[in-house]
Amino acid sequence: MNISLEVGLRIRYYRKEKHITQEKLAEICNLHPTYIGQLERGEKNATIESLYKITSGLGISMGKLLENIECPEDENTSIPLHVYHQILSLPVDKQQKVQTIINDIIGLI
């Protein structure tokens, strides 16, 4: 698992959920817009200070941003984690469609 990419995808998810641009988030956090883009793409490792600024700017806790980041122990845990990463990389509207489909499938079980 690429932790930098995982954190970046989560930053992007929460940023898009708040309907703000990278530039606006950078302004709120007093960071450079290029840096926000690099973090979201997993090209840079964020410092603790940067993560604090970003989570504060997004109105979420650092715990929420980092929750459930762990290495899969075996094949059974890697499948849900892989699906989670795929869903996390989708735009919010598509994530909602996936959630509806999953809820429908679970309802059939």
pTM here? 0.68
1-69 fold? 434 Repressor (Amino-terminal Domain) (1.10.260)
Instruction: Convert the pLDDT of each residue in 10-67 to its tens digit.
Output: 999 999 999 999 999 999 999 999 999 999 999 999 999 999 999 999 999 999 999 8
Distance CA 58, CA 54 (A): 6
Residue 4 · residue 55 · CB < 8 Å: no
Domain boundaries, the chain: 1-69, 70-109
Q: Which two tokens stand for residue 95?
A: 């994530």
C-alpha angle 28-33-35 in degrees, rounded to nearest 5: 110
